[in-house]
Structure 1
Amino acid sequence: MRIIPEELRGGSALAEDYIQGTGRARDLYEYDVLHADAYAQRAKRLDETEHLRLNRKDVVACLRIYNEQYNAHKAVRASLDRLEQPDALVVAGGQQSGLFTGPMLVVYKAATIIKAAKEAEERLGRPVIPVFWIAGEDHDWDEVNHTYVMANDPQAVKIKLNKQPERRSSVSAIKVDVAEWKQAMADIEQSLPDSEHKADILRMIKHGFNDSYGLGEGFAKLLGLLFGAYGLVLLDSADPLLRKLETSVFRRLVQHNDELEQAYHATAARIVDYGYHLQADVNEGGANLFYIHEEERLLLFKQDGLFTDRRGQVAFTVEELLEETDRHPERFSNNVLTRPLMQDSLFPVLASVLGLGEIAYWAITRDAFGVLGMQMPLLLPRMSFTLVEPGVEKHMLKYELSFGEVRDGLEERKKQWIVTHDQLGMQEQFVGAKEAFVRMYEPLIQQSGLIEKGLLRIGETNREKILEQIAYLEAKVQEALFRQNETALRQWDRIEWSLFPFGQPQERVYTIYHFLNRYGRSLIDMIMDVPTDLTGMHRVIYV
């Protein structure tokens, strides 16, 4: 295994500046992640504010029930025992529940949480527990109901749950029928090539689907199989038992809603003033809370003294909304701006592991933490990888292609390569033919124009038509050359589809199961053995 750092573009300028300690980003976050004492400062602050969080034993008891059901591993039980200790801290991070654990970046985020917690524990000399927050309360079904498997064609095979919910329900509340699970299993079985690990990987996936109500449960089971042995604690933000515990936090979010809104707007204005782009909407009059009405998740706004949704399906006074949080806490959920506050109300969060986009929108929440007497935790970028298989590396060496060249797109490089394999020099001949034609024909056009002015326009039009016909033949010759080199060009395509499917980084598209099928579950151990790097650097792993 070789590991080489490479640049991967497309990140947030704000997040990049925060990670590197440059620009004005430092003013938008609570802690300087590069400061040597940042961990100790944060731990001290958490010790001083233990009273602001929910009862630790109650939270752990709730997590025990959930993890025994979906993530029953002795290492997880040990993590929960340690979390109950009064000096224990947490490194948290999360993601929406996706089909087959979603894209590979989810696996990398889980690995980062575990490794960051271990490093923090060694640094502070006190327990630090890794916790993965499954965002089951989110309602974007179309974003999570599918995944892609790398195929040999080369191409990406899309596997999708065809169920379409009637309402915008939370993902964890959407039931997936047995037939849908079976079809997804059949699709991935067909897509994965035969290997010595295939039977084991399929059994693993089947375990995740068996008796699972929906994506949230299946996601938790599979993530538990991958990382339970490392003591990763799971929670689903839509867990009804957890919701019941969170009642007092929802009350505070309602009671301080105007102050929170002002804080979000003030911080958003400062971000824009510093020259950065906002990564999340801060709506005027937004309550930044959802209310579940008749199984539909409605975003609440404040209008004429009431909390209501855009279509007016529900309307509450402040007093009525507070009563509703007491009676039915399961009907409430957070949006992206209040979720960080809920996370800190549940756990003593030393650090939160985030993607670059998440780091950028968390900046909006800094002053909101202060409204509730808390502080934003340390923010750590998740580790980012591209896995390069031996066959793909072989092709890259054969055609002298670097990772950066593949990242930037190979279309022009393909054409250049074709030219070098054009034994008849057809491209040069076409260039010469067009230049010679124009050189010979242009004087005729000009002289025709002297005879009659209208002939000049006719001649120019005629010239363009002839050039179009030459270009048409040139394109056909190019297609023929591509056909002659089809085998080689398929190798080029294999490189692109492996590293940057649809022009996107591998980790954002493919499920990890292609690689697990190829290398077995030991692939997870390999990822966990990669040296920890919390600088946001992208690394290419040649496996």
Structure 2
Amino acid sequence: MPSSIDTAARRVSPASLGAFPDLFIDYCTDFDAVADFYPGDWQSRTARRTAAESAAQRPADRDVLAETLLAQNERWGLDASTRSHIEALRDPASIAIVTGQQVGLFTGPLYTIYKTLTTLQLVEEWADQTGRPVVPVFWVEGEDHDFEEIAAAHVLHRNEVVPLSYAPDVEDNPGAVGRLALTDGIHDVVDQLDEALPPSDFKPAVMEHVRAAYRPGTRLEDAFAQLMRSFFADDGLVFINPDDARLKALSRPLFRREIESPQASAAQVGAASRALRDRGYHAQVTARPTNLFWLGDDSRRALDWEEHTFRLRGTDRTFSQSELLDHLDETPERFSPNVVLRPLMQDHLLPTAAYVAGPGEVSYFAQYGGVYEWAGLDMPLIHPRASVSLVEGKVQTVLDKYDLTVADFQTNLDPLFQNVVVDTMEVDVDALFSEALPQLHQTLNALKPEVEAVDRTLGASTEAARSAIMDEMESLKQKVVRAEKRQQDEVRAQLRKAHVNLRPAGTLQERMINVLYYLNKYSPALLNDLRHALQTDTSAHQVVEV
């Protein structure tokens, strides 16, 4: 099948999009400016070899890790290439390129896919540069308790954004959302997706994968992993679900350190946050003692440190330090890391040499250097994921017509519309009539004495003629204005179409639109095409015509 991508990706400055924080922009384009917040230059071969050597020495128990991953991936469709990669993790020389994401409905926004594509691209690159076995790993984050954050997906239909929401009766804090079993209500959401996606040669296969994954009784995290697996079959992608007693048991040393020194990690994050603000950057996360949650059967609650006691947030339940350590020994699966400890758990378990991160993650890793030192871990290199805009032919036609680029489309369409209208309108109506009317008055003013010299009674007729001429001129002006408005309305409609596709709801396309819209329209082979079209130098936003 021919590629749906006809040209190589074009590169756009991330700063020009008005969508990324300064810290992320400098990380991508001027690393030296932020180097002291990170372990090394993500593009340096020397830094990569150093990170690989450190990562290879890290995992607590490679055999337990491998056995757990085999069991987990068996649930989602374990193929030969994934099995081979899992077995490779037993090799003490092997390393991992890791990414991850929350278990969003139908895999969530496009950035989940771009994270995965970047990870798969880097495997071969790192293998060549380090001479080591390299394994791609996807962290399936299902322990979060914010259900609304993962329960919606968005596709395009006739240049409108169509929201798809899965809304069963769920408590405000249902515990680990990944554990929730899909209800019969998922049928309605899948049917809405089916209705929103137009008929195509690829739709039957696409919908078959969706229906196979999202079935009543299936846990959200399993549905997510199964659908992701179908997108990347035979690529050897290894999925890991941290909500596993075996993995939590391996993580005891990290959790114990946090319980025994409940203010230490937060202090490290706080110091880095102040340093970032002093340099004019933002602090992405705010750490609180402690950075652990208690994972119950029906809720996930933060463990707050209060005067030598741990309190379960929102309840009266408390634990002494010794009680909490006893629980850690007996039921480690009851503990869940927050945004600070999650990457440390990941890198305690895995030989992570590089983590493929979105802009927010790149920002919060700048706060974590001291926490990694406190935990006795080396932070992996942080590689920005590919940031991408997919430009369909219908959108490219609009860009070409008005000589625009993707970067011209910002959060608000109005300024661009005004600029385009000024450039495209051939007539400035107000200026045209403002110039003509004084000339007419001047002519009539000069004519009136001559007329009155012939017959004084004709002065009134001259004024009547003036009034009639002004009325006709105003009528003509309104006709021109209506014609101009019709032209403006056409311009606005075309620009709005492009804006909805490129900046839906004002945000970047990659942050809202789901990949299924594009797979249905252009074939599931689009993912492989993108893998070859996108560059691993992700310092720029990449624009791909499809």
TM-score interval, smaller chain: 0.7 to 0.9
Q: Secondary structure at the match of 2:45?
A: coil
Aligned pairs (5 A) from 1:144-163: 144-152=150-158, 154-163=159-168
Following superposition, the deviation at residue 426 of structure 1 comes to: 4.2
Tell me if the contact between 2:102 and 2:150 (Cα under 8 Å) persists in the aligned partners.
Answer: yes
Aligned residues: CA RMSD? 2.7
Retained in 2: the 8 A contact 1:21–1:32?
no
Do structure 1's residue 508 and structure 2's residue 473 form an aligned pair?
A: no
> Secondary structure of the equivalent of 1:228?
coil
In the TM superposition, what is the alpha-carbon distance from 1:184 to its structure 2 partner? 1.0
Task: Look up the match of 1:398.
Answer: 401
Residue 42 of structure 2 is matched in structure 1 by 33
**Which of the numbers 273, 277, 298 marks the counterpart of 2:278?**
273
What CA distance in whole angstroms lies between the structure 2 residues aligned with 1:268 and 1:408? Answer: 28
TM-superposed CA distance for 1:320, in Å, is 0.5
**Which of 124, 134, 137 is the aligned partner of 2:140?**
134
Secondary structure, counterpart of 1:257 in structure 2: coil
| Greater shift in the superposed pair: 396-405 or 523-532 | 396-405
* Residue in 2 that maps onto 1:124: 130
> CA 1:487–1:266 in structure 2 vs 1: closer, same or farther (change >3 Å)?
closer
1:75 aligns with 2:78: no
Say whether 1:329 aligns with 2:338. no
Can you list the C-alpha shifts for 1:81-108, whole angstroms capped at 9, x where unaligned? Answer: 2122121101111111101110001000
C-alpha displacement at 1:415, in angstroms? 4.3
Match of 1:193 in 2: 198
* Higher alpha-carbon deviation: 334-343 or 15-24: 15-24
Q: Which residue in the other structure is 1:243 paired with?
A: 248
| Equivalent of 1:518 in 497, 513, 521 | 521
**Amino acid in structure 2 at the alignment position of 1:207:** A
What is the CA distance between 1:155 and its match in structure 2?
A: 1.2
What is the alpha-carbon distance in structure 1 between the residues aligned to residue 434 and residue 249 of structure 2? Answer: 74
Indicate whether 1:369 and 2:378 are aligned: no
Q: State whether residues 296 and 334 of structure 2, in contact with CA within 8 Å, keep that contact through their aligned partners in structure 1.
A: yes
TM-score under structure 1 length normalisation: 0.85
Contact 2:355–2:381 (Cα < 8 Å) also in 1: yes
Contact 1:72 1:228 in 2 (8 A): no
Q: How big is each residue's C-alpha offset from its partner over 1:50-78, in whole Å with a ceiling of 9 and x where there is no partner?
A: 3xx32101011111111111142221111
Q: Within 5 Å, which residues of 2 pair with 1:311-322?
A: 311-322=314-325
Q: Distance in 2 between matches of 1:216 and 1:432?
A: 69
Aligned partner of residue 166 in structure 1, secondary structure: coil
Q: How does 1:368-387 map to 2 (within 5 A)?
A: 368-387=371-390
Range that drifts further, 167-176 or 336-345: 167-176
Question: Matched residue of 2:143: which SS?
Answer: coil
- Residues 342-401 of structure 1 show CA distances to partners (whole Å, capped at 9, x for unaligned) of 011101110111012111111211111112221111110001111111121122212322
Q: What is the CA-CA distance between 1:511 and the residue it aligns to? A: 0.1
**1:268–1:282 Cα contact (<8 Å) kept:** no
Cα displacement (A) at 1:6: 1.3
Q: Answer yes or no: is 1:538 the counterpart of 2:541.
A: yes
Q: CA deviation at 1:332?
A: 1.1
For residue 264 of structure 2, what is the aligned residue in structure 1? 259
Distance change (3 Å), C-alpha of 1:183 and 1:34: same
Given that 2:328 and 2:335 are in contact with CA atoms closer than 8 Å, whether structure 1 keeps it comes out as yes
Bigger drift between 318-327 and 243-252 goes to 243-252
CA 1:347 to 1:431, structure 2 compared with 1: closer, same or farther past 3 Å?
Answer: farther
Q: Which residue does 2:3 correspond to in 1?
A: none
Assess if the C-alpha contact under 8 Å between 2:19 and 2:508 holds in 1. Answer: no
Unaligned runs of 5+ in 2: 1-5, 440-476
**What is the match of residue 18 of structure 1?**
27
Q: What SS class does the counterpart of residue 87 from structure 1 fall into?
A: coil
Equivalent pair of 2:411/2:503 in contact (CA under 8 Å)? no
Deviates more, 1:11-20 or 1:421-430: 421-430
Aligned partner of 1:257: which letter? P
| AA aligned opposite 2:47 | A
Cα distance change on mapping 1:476 and 1:345 into 2, 3 Å: farther
Q: Distance in 2 between matches of 1:397 and 1:274?
A: 40
Choose 1 or 2 for highest CA Rg: 2
Q: Any conservation in 2 of the 1:20–1:535 contact (CA below 8 Å)?
A: no
> Could you say if the C-alpha distance between residues 256 and 519 of structure 1 is closer, same or farther in structure 2, counting changes exceeding 3 Å?
same
Tell whether the 8 Å contact from 1:382 to 1:534 is kept in structure 2 after alignment. no
Quick one: percent identity of the two aligned structures? 28
